[in-house]
Amino acid sequence: MSKTAVSTENAPKPPAKFSQAVRKGNLLQVAGQVAFDPATNEIVGDDVAGQTRQTFKNIEAVLAEAGSSLADAIMVRVYLTDTAHFAPFNEVYDELIGDAPQPARTTVYVGLPGELLVEIDVLCVLD
């Protein structure tokens, strides 16, 4: 079973040598995405809600390139820079992910470069 990289111009280019996503068999792992506009490479959103929306827009672009969507997500890892961001993040997350069954999720508090407030990676199982 071969491993293939997924790449789209509709999401930011990775800052180092790694793929936007990798598919092997029916598994698709989307690398951590942040709130960069793919056209300008500038951060979109000055708060966690705005950055979360752009981050999911980037994730959805990578998923679409792979023939997938958030409906295929079984695991979401969220990296936030401040525990105070948990509630506003959850409001946007619940709106964008939709009704149950929601994917499993882990939230970790980390330092991110510059003014970034959120990073998200996603694991999907494709039909």
Scan for tokens 């820079």, then name that residue.
Answer: 81
Rounded to whole angstroms, what are the CA distances from 17 to 5, 13, 31? 12, 10, 12
pLDDT > 80? residue 4: yes
pTM score, whole prediction: 0.96
What is the percentage of the chain residues whose pLDDT exceeds 90? 94
- Tens of pLDDT, residue by residue over 7-65, are 999 999 998 999 999 999 999 999 999 999 999 999 999 999 999 999 999 999 999 99
pLDDT at 1: 85
HSE-up (13 A, CA, CB side) for residue 45: 20
pLDDT at 100: 74
pLDDT at 98: 85
pLDDT > 90? residue 94: yes
Task: Return the CATH number of the domain spanning residue range 3-125.
Answer: 3.30.1330.40
